[in-house]
Amino acid sequence: MPTLTKWSSLSEREKELALSRPALKDNIQLQETVKDIIAQVRKSGDNALKHFCEKFDGVSLGSLRLPKEIIESSISGLSSDVCEAIDLAYENIRLFHQAQYPKDIEIETTPGVICQQKHSPIARVGLYVPGGTAPLPSTVLMLGVSAQVAGCELAILCTPPNKQGTVAPEILYAAKKCGIQEIYLCGGAQAIAAMAFGTNTIPKVDKIFGPGNSFVTEAKQQVSQTFDGAAIDMPAGPSEVLVLADKDANPAFVASDLLSQAEHGADSQAILVSDNETLITRTITELENQLNKLPRKDIAAASIANSRFILCEDINKCIEVTNTYAAEHLIVQTEDASILVDKLANAGSIFVGPWSPESAGDYASGTNHVLPTYGYSRTYSSLGLLDFMRRYTVQTLSKKGIRSIGPAIMTLASAEGLDAHKQAVALRLDTLDKMEGGE
């Protein structure tokens, strides 16, 4: 069990290490492994996918696409409780994402010059749903509802098969609700490569979405850096949570929130930052008690070994450390949580006060649980409807408009030495002069 770390006693290098991500430890090796997987998928397509499925998931597949009959019969066995819970989560996520629908803009910048900004859905999207450690139907909703509300033409889903060579019925039910027709049994870096470049069976898509382990996240980075690959949403790797708590926090609540992310994987990271030593020691005791009762105790314990319990001299230092870490999830359990939130700059999603566990956002409050990790919440946003859309501009100039801004355009074109640009305007102004002279 990790011990309390006194922030003020660490050197600058130790501070950096304390906030480093465990999943990035063997980055060079990871890059090489993923590069090789992508190359093999590009070369051998479906055969490579089946080979990696056998190697990493221990399943020998006949067909990569899950047949419709299996999907339907699998869904029919689900209990009504599970369906109703998925229905409730679906509805809240749909409401929150529908509210994000962007407004088109139209303004006349100069009389006769009309500029518009419009939005359209990205046509073909690939959704990755993790499945190595646990099947995640909630991730299907986060990705699928967004694609559905945006109006994407094609949404395909890739997820690793379970040991029976199929997919959890909860995933299939959630996918059906989101209108996803094509489900492929394919996980890891190979699934990302398949969606980015296409294979005989899996269609190439324009943009890939979804979280995953470090292999998946690295593959997304690599395919997005080639011109013939696909765009990606963000680096959304192993789960992270930082809890910022003061003397008023409930240690049992804090411990449960830390453990809820620790159970995602051994390379997940849970961090507690506080200005109160008693709160930290009580949380560690609670954490030990709760950990021992968890079925996924081994995974959570491995992750807790990467955890940090940081004691700062005051709440302002706590805020500074929190902003430096830039967590995927930030839980604020302090006396003045809703006031403090305005000082917290970098986080994928923030949970305010004792009654807002991260599990709420993971499943059913309506916000998206696909969030940037590795500190990328400094610059990347949480997944939202706009990620499934593209914006573009339209401009329409009247005769009055080109007359009005034409001379300035010609001057700027001359300044850049680009005569053809100048000519495109000069020709029009000359034509207008002749037309108007002759009228």
Ligand X SMILES: NC(=O)c1ccc[n+]([C@@H]2O[C@H](COP(=O)([O-])OP(=O)(O)OC[C@H]3O[C@@H](n4cnc5c(N)ncnc54)[C@H](O)[C@@H]3O)[C@@H](O)[C@H]2O)c1
Q: Which residues of the shown chain bind ligand X in the complex (CB under 6 A)?
A: 33, 52, 56-57, 130-133, 136, 139, 160, 187-189, 211-213, 215-216, 236-239, 264-265, 268, 328, 369-371, 373
For 16-174, strand residue ranges (E) read: 105-110, 113-121, 124-128, 154-159
Position among 5, 40, 138, 159 found at the interface with ligand HSO (CB under 6 A): 138
Whether 128 has a binding-site annotation, put simply, is: yes
Nearer to ligand HSO, 138 or 356 (CB): 138
Q: How far is the CB of 262 from Zn ion (least distance, A)?
A: 10
258 contact, one of ligand HSO, ligand X, Zn ion, none, CB 5-8 Å limit per kind: none
According to CB under 6 A, which residues from 307 to 346 bind ligand HSO? 328
Tokens 């003020």 sit on residue: 8
Q: How far is the CB of 296 from Zn ion (least distance, A)?
A: 12
Whether 72 has a binding-site annotation, put simply, is: no
Whether 325 has a binding-site annotation, put simply, is: no
Whether 362 has a binding-site annotation, put simply, is: yes
Residues 271 and 373: beta-carbon distance below 8 Å: no
Q: What's the token pair of residue 140? A: 């299907």
Confirm whether 218 is a catalytic residue.
no
CA dihedral 42, 44, 47, 53 (to 10 degrees): -40
Looking at 97, 329, 358, 369, which residue is catalytic? 329
Tokens 């706590």 sit on residue: 318
Confirm whether 329 is a catalytic residue.
yes
Within 8 A by CB and 6+ apart from 264, the residues are 133, 134, 238, 239, 299, 303
Residues 36 and 139: beta-carbon distance below 8 Å: no
Position among 167, 362, 364, 385 found at the interface with ligand HSO (CB under 6 A): 362
* Closest by CA position to 148, among listed 95, 194, 195: 95
What is each CA distance from 293 to 264, 285, 290, in whole angstroms?
16, 13, 5
Q: How far is the CB of 322 from ligand HSO (least distance, A)?
A: 17
According to CB under 6 A, which residues from 264 to 283 bind ligand HSO? 264
Find the helix or strand (DSSP H, E) in which 190 lies. Answer: helix 188-197
Q: How far is the CB of 405 from ligand X (least distance, A)?
A: 45
**Residue 136 touching ligand HSO (CB under 6 A):** yes
Position among 42, 94, 220, 369 found at the interface with ligand HSO (CB under 6 A): 369
Q: How far is the CB of 257 from Zn ion (least distance, A)?
A: 10
Start-end of H helices in 390-439 = 399-415, 419-438
Q: In DSSP terms, which residues pair with 154 in a beta bridge?
A: 124
Q: Which stretch binds ligand HSO (CB under 6 A): 7-15, 54-62, 132-140, 406-414?
A: 132-140
Residues 156 and 127: beta-carbon distance below 8 Å: yes
138 contact, one of Zn ion, ligand X, ligand HSO, none, CB 5-8 Å limit per kind: ligand HSO
3-class secondary-structure state, position 312: coil
Residues 364 and 92: beta-carbon distance below 8 Å: yes
Helix, strand, coil percentages (3-state) for the chain, rounded to 5, are 50, 20, 30
Residues 367 and 351: beta-carbon distance below 8 Å: no
**Residue 304 touching ligand HSO (CB under 6 A):** no
Whether 190 has a binding-site annotation, put simply, is: yes
Nearer to ligand HSO, 97 or 369 (CB): 369
Nearer to Zn ion, 251 or 265 (CB): 265
Give dist(CA 5, CA 7) in Å, integer: 6
Looking at 328, 335, 358, 436, which residue is catalytic? 328
Other beta carbons within 10 angstroms of residue 424's beta carbon come to 14
Q: How far is the CB of 88 from ligand X (least distance, A)?
A: 19
Q: Go through 258-275 and write b for each residue having 16 or more CB atoms within 10 A of its CB, e for each that does not.
A: bbbbbbbbbbbbbbbbbb
160 contact, one of ligand X, Zn ion, ligand HSO, none, CB 5-8 Å limit per kind: ligand X
**Residue 217 touching ligand HSO (CB under 6 A):** no
Q: In DSSP terms, which residues pair with 118 in a beta bridge?
A: 392
Whether 261 has a binding-site annotation, put simply, is: yes
Number of residues that bind ligand HSO (CB under 6 A): 9
- Please report, as ranges, the residues that interact with ligand HSO according to CB under 6 A: 136, 138-139, 239, 261, 264, 328, 362, 369
The residues that are catalytic are 328-329
Query: Which residues sit in the known binding site for substrate?
Result: 239, 261, 264, 329, 362, 416, 421
